[in-house]
Amino acid sequence: MTTETKTEVTADVQAIQTAADRLFTAEAEIVQAYLTKKPSADADIRWITTEAWRTWVDADLFRESTRLGNLYPGVPFEVDRDQYVLDVRDLYLKMRAHDAFASLLEDRTGDDVTGLTLLADAVEDEWASEGRKLDGLLAAIGATSTLVGDATMRFTGEIGLGVYYVLAQGDDAGVKAAARTALSDGAHRYVIGLRRLQRVMEEESGTFPPLEDTGRVNGPAWQSSAKAQSTINLIVERRMALRNDQFGKPLSRERLKALQQDEPTVTAAQAASLVGFII
């Protein structure tokens, strides 16, 4: 079954998609390099643990469920019903991705896995060091963020498709099943996040420059786009470092820096197409 969705692409949105695709490309190269080394069972448990943790953190269940609960009485008069339904679906899909990797971790270790336990272990454990740096960046951005900045951060929580794209084509049946679930759900969340970001950018600043028939630049729109692009580039850089650490640092710093500039070779559309989802 093929699922198709259409998102109108403007110049600013295209730039954000390209930044995300650079991350997907880096993720795919990192995982391919990792698998080439024929990793040990302990190495596999390390990356699965990190993935279970990050999917829990990115879901942010308590904050999101509280926020959605508070908004519910305002539907549909104060809160757009369609957007509310998208946000509820977004949270559900995030939790499915977490469940896929938490269940995989339980299968590999024989231990019960909870989000709170993962959070506690991540406070000091070495495997979470790059994730803590990412969380520090997100907290700093969030402390001074506009609505566009917040929507950009939420969008970047959806982008991990390059990892799942490679793992979903692997030989490990358990990993493959979890990755296909996360890839399918991630493709849906990618579109939800992109639509949310585009809507907030339009609401905050109007249409993207130049202004029609004037030749002048729409200042607020330019600032909105620049803020979103700057934010996503910072987060993509840190997520690349997190992914590289998660899989044993198979790529050099120099290679990661190059991937931040090079044209992407793995796109969201390409990754999503593996599970019949058309972006």
Question: What pLDDT score was predicted for residue 258?
Answer: 97
3-278 CATH pick, 1.20.910, 2.60.120, 2.40.50, 1.10.10: 1.20.910
Cα-Cα-Cα-Cα torsion 91, 93, 98, 102, nearest 10 degrees, comes to 130
Residue 256: alpha-carbon gap to chain centroid: 18
Higher pLDDT, 119 or 249: 249
Question: What pLDDT score was predicted for residue 173?
Answer: 97
Which residue do the tokens 């829990």 mark? 56
In angstroms, the CA 55 to CA 241 distance is 17
Question: What pLDDT score was predicted for residue 224?
Answer: 65
Question: What pLDDT score was predicted for residue 127?
Answer: 82
CA distances from 90 to 52, 86, 94, 136, 275 (A): 17, 6, 6, 24, 18
In angstroms, the CA 245 to CA 79 distance is 41
- pLDDT over 80 at 51, yes or no: yes
pLDDT per residue as tens digits for the range 59-96: 777 788 888 999 999 999 998 898 899 889 888 888 89
Q: How confident is the model at residue 158 (pLDDT cuts 50, 70, 90)?
A: low
| Domain chopping of the chain, boundaries | 3-278
Question: What pLDDT score was predicted for residue 9?
Answer: 56
In DSSP notation, the chain reads --EE------HHHHHHHHHHHHHHHHHHHHHHHHHHT---HHHHHHHHHHHHHHHHHHH-HHHHHHHHHHHGGGTTTTS-HHHHHHHHHHHHHHHHHHHHHHHHHHHHH-S---HHHHHHHHTT-GGGHHHHHHHHHHHHHHHT--HHHHHHHHHHTT--HHHHHHHTTSS-HHHHHHHHHHHHHHHHHHHHHHHHHHHHHHHHH-SPSSPTTT----HHHHHHHHHHHHHHHHHHHHHHHHHHHHTT--S-HHHHHHHTTSPPSS-HHHHHHTTTEE-
- pLDDT over 60 at 219, yes or no: no
- pLDDT over 80 at 226, yes or no: no
> What average pLDDT score do residues 212-226 get?
50
- pLDDT over 70 at 278, yes or no: yes
Taking the complete model, does pTM exceed 0.75, yes or no? yes
Question: What pLDDT score was predicted for residue 115?
Answer: 85
In angstroms, the CA 50 to CA 252 distance is 20
Lowest mean pLDDT among 140-149, 174-183, 185-194: 140-149
Question: What pLDDT score was predicted for residue 125?
Answer: 84
Lowest mean pLDDT among 28-32, 105-109, 223-227, 238-242: 223-227
Question: What pLDDT score was predicted for residue 181?
Answer: 94
